[in-house]
Structure 1
Amino acid sequence: MSDISRIALLTSGGDAPGMNAAVRAVVRSADAKGIETIAVSNGYQGMIENNMRLMDAREVSGILHLGGTILGTARSDAFRTPEGRAKAADNLNAQGVDGIVIIGGDGSLTGGQKLAEEHNFHVIGIPGTIDNDLSGTDFTIGFDTAVNTAMEAIDKIRDTASSHHRTFFVEVMGRHAGWLALYAGISTGATAALIPEREDDIAHIRERIFESFKLNKRFSIIVVAEGENLGGAEAIAEMVKNGEGTENLDIRVANLGHMQRGGSPSMRDRVLGARLGDAAVQALVDGKTGVMVGERYHQIVHTPFTRLKTTERNADMFDLVEMMDRLAR
């Protein structure tokens, strides 16, 4: 057991719906255990600037349904340096902090790992990212809401695509991971999902579109992750247009942009945020450090920061890609 009496809490990296649910859970779980919470504003930059204050359990009332993060988030180049991390550590020590909870993605949790290694803090991570690209959890906080946002937008696009017999290339977020594009594609009955994890071929994409219309479908929708290897939706649409036999294709492009990050979190993200926030505090009380709390098969698990970017999950992804290809015919 660890003698934790005051923890620092921050959200870092890109915002994700459900972060506030996790913030609320951390503060209230800590309060129930007699632990004080220091809220860090604007991520690691707030640590460096000493932008921190005590937060009590009543201050997190009414935030469960809010998108974004009430703590604010920012990227910090200064924190990437040993000098910046040393300054952050000095400020944390001055605040009497002996444990840290970080809500964010891979880069944010890597920063937490360095704090733990270089300055001997107990650090626990909570996976908050719409990319769903961390091992050690079935889903990350924010992913479910982001998929639902993309799904609702694509459903609307499909209505007009069907009315005009159009082909739409719809770009969603996912610079390094295709989970969002894949789940959005499966849930909307898209013709294909193009993801960074798989090499795509323009001739094959063009043939999939032709096949779709040969089956008397009234539309074709291709969901494209922004980090897809051929260059994104605009570039792929242009390459498809320039191919042989495409003169009769009515091709349009839609980029869903940052709307995918916003909005009120779904039930799943609220519950996941609550559960992982509570589990993070318990992990600190139990003396754990350098791990991310996650949910696998409905059970809380702890994964070392060094194991968060494995490729083990890609096998599951490729199974879903093959299933999508079968169902899209």
Structure 2
Amino acid sequence: MAVYQDKTTGKYYFSCCYKDWQGERRRKKKCGFKFARDAKAAERDFLNQQYGASCMSFKALYELYIADCRARLKESTVISKDSLFQHSILPFFQRFDNIGSITPAHVRQWQNELLTKYKPTSCRRIHSQLSAIFNFAVKYYGLARNVACIAGGIGARKADSASYWTIEEFDKAIEQVQALQDKAALTVLFYSGLRVGELLALTMADYDGSANTITVTKTLSRTATGYVVAPPKTPKSRRTVTIPCKASAMLNAYIATLYEPQKQDAIFIGLNRNRLAYVMKLAAIGAGIKIIRVHDLRHSHASLLINNGANIKAVSERLGHDDIKTTLNTYGHLYQNQDNALAAMLDKI
């Protein structure tokens, strides 16, 4: 272990030997440090990463964790995960040079700060990321315990109030929308339950106007360099969804305005999530109803199905969930709200 100064640039670098995962002896050199102490800290973190010592810094652990995520998860998922760490986790925990020194009390202190800044659902999501990185350290780098788990979870799985439109609210909102493309896109989202990325990735070949079906085989995902068409979120996301005649009629009317569309052409070319969010906000204000997110149209669709007696398995398959548990965790409370209707049904039997 040694740190040197580059006589030409005046910057510091470290150079050390280590054994890789195959037992081969290798040398690592990293340059460009302004101070010798920074080079020493970087060398220590590198060696800790190689040998799995639980005394590595939290920042070094994060670099290992996010690199592992990049190799295994979709790029859009990694971008979302990285954003949570950069804004809500690293500012507090990156000061720890030894992850073994982080205690449940430190986590509780961080949680208390979090609770003053974010909604309960966001707090739960952020805390789950902290717990995930400690689980990673326990499993692969010899950390003795997951202090986030010991400190306990925070937040709530679901928001206090449901964020969705009823069919009456949607009808009022859609009357406020002028552009036919916006009108068609929002109508398809409400009556199909598609994710926004799935809608924006649709091509003419994916829509069968005679059968009123939409086939989902891809999604529009955000990457570090922009948006790309990628495989859908899960294997079960590949599905064919039948839409009602009113949604199909709206979509047909919009497609009729396009100039000689080809099978490979995007149906909603030039449209994006921000545009839809802006249109929905204006429509909600104009209709005098609550403002919801674009993704909440998917929740609105699920609510519409469940409140009209749809089977949970059918709802799960239509939404493209990986399993019924996901559907129940998200929408189980809507089934619980049908208790009076179930009692009335039993009276009739």
Normalised TM-score (structure 1): 0.27
* Greater fraction helix: 2
Larger radius of gyration, structure 1 or 2?
A: 2
**Which structure features the higher share of strand residues?**
1
